[in-house]
Structure 1
Amino acid sequence: MKTINLRNVLFGTFFLWTSFAIAQEAEETATAPQKLPQQFQEMVQESNSVKSSSGNEYKVVSLSRLNRFWENARDSLSNVRQDLRQTLDQVATQDAELKSLNSSIREKDAIVAASEHDSTHISVLGMDIPKEGFLNFFWITVLILALLLGGAIYQYRNSQLVTSRTRQDYRKLQHELEEFRKTSLEKERRLRRELQTERNLVEELKVVASQKR
């Protein structure tokens, strides 16, 4: 919008300046021929009048004055032509300046468009991607990674809980095995003592039996 307003202001200023220059040239061109009628009227009024037999009035104009009037007319015409050429040259120059101005405006528009494109796009791995789309993709990726991380943490905590329970069960089982081993040893010792007692009793019975013989 700023570029369009600037273009309108430049075009308006250039158009007003061109119109003013052309109007000024036209005014100067128009004032030059206005002197010729005055010179002609003055020449006619100051010339001698002659009437013919038929009653027609003629003016006798000196050749030098007529030549001077002709020179003035030719000079005025030359000035008009020169002014016209200058005006055409100015119009051509202004047209070239206008084209140059349009080219400059187009270049500025291209720079502004490129700047706007750079401000709304980003290059990723050689690909031109809109920043909005890239940010959406980035945050979606972050959300997915956060969900995966949360799932991994949840699984890790569950595995830690299972491991802790397994260790507790293992310790409990180990304790029970230790108690069973101790109980078994006690039973084994008791049985050995009883067995030894029985053996001693058998030996005593053998001794008694041998004495009776």
Structure 2
Amino acid sequence: MKFFNLLILFVFISFSSGLRAQTAPVEGSLDGGTIDSQLTWLLKKSPNYQEYEMIKRFMALKMKQNVLDTLKVMRASINEGKNTITAQQTQIDNLKIELGNTNQNLEQTTKEKNSMSFLGILMNKAAYNALLWGIITALVGLLVWFIYKFRNSNLVTQQARAKLSEVEEEFEAHRSRALEREQKVRRQLQDEINKQKAGKS
């Protein structure tokens, strides 16, 4: 009777689990899920002998195949990840090169923006402004010096002309006096000559 009740119970459980397997997806099996869930299912389904789990050969082979498939998928995923990393690293290197070129162009543009060309020499704006104002100051200084020299020379020329005019006037006066004296002396000489001629006659 006990045996019969156990048999009925076993058939009922087998029949109901068979129906459940057909109507719903199997929870925990070697056909799906993660390796961890498959191992857990395998340990639950395997009978114990002392401290050992007795795993059926086909289940062990199926588990081995599942592990190998998972490793294959993981290796492919790792290789794909490595390829992605390599591609991204190449892209990063290219972007770094582009960034370096862009920074170099930016520095050159900034340098050119903050610089002026003077006689073919690139100078920053502060030095250019200092040089320009130095040249302007030197030119203004030279102009002032030339004006001073011109006025000084003009003044000296005017003074020399005034002295020349004065000397000419003195010379004319002296010449007039000398001429008068000479005429006076000639008259006196003529008078003397006339007196001597009159005294001889």
Relative to the length of structure 1, the TM-score reads: 0.55
Change (3 A) 1:66 1:201: closer
- Distance in 2, Cα, partners of 1:143 & 1:91: 64
Residues 1:183 and 2:177 are matched in the alignment: yes
Q: Is the 8 A contact 1:36 1:72 kept in 2?
A: no
Q: Which has the higher helix share?
A: 1
- Distance in 1, Cα, partners of 2:195 & 2:83: 152
- Distance in 2, Cα, partners of 1:92 & 1:192: 131
- Counterpart in 2 of 1:113? 107
- Counterpart in 2 of 1:94? 88
- Distance in 2, Cα, partners of 1:106 & 1:127: 26
- Distance in 2, Cα, partners of 1:205 & 1:88: 156
Letter in 1 for 2:165: R
What's the offset of the Cα at 1:150?
1.3
Letter in 1 for 2:156: V
Aligned length: 153
Quick one: higher RCO (CA 8 Å, sep 6+), 1 or 2?
Answer: 1
Q: Which runs of 5+ in 2 are unaligned?
A: 1-30, 42-55
- Counterpart in 2 of 1:169? 163
Q: Which runs of 5+ in 1 are unaligned?
A: 1-34, 45-60, 208-213
SS at match of 1:114: helix
- Distance in 2, Cα, partners of 1:88 & 1:36: 27
Q: Is the 8 A contact 1:121 1:129 kept in 2?
A: yes
- Distance in 2, Cα, partners of 1:197 & 1:126: 93
SS at match of 2:33: helix
Q: Is the 8 A contact 1:123 1:129 kept in 2?
A: yes
Q: Is the 8 A contact 1:122 1:131 kept in 2?
A: yes
Cα RMSD of the aligned pairs, angstroms, is 3.8
Q: Percent identity?
A: 24
Relative to the length of structure 2, the TM-score reads: 0.57
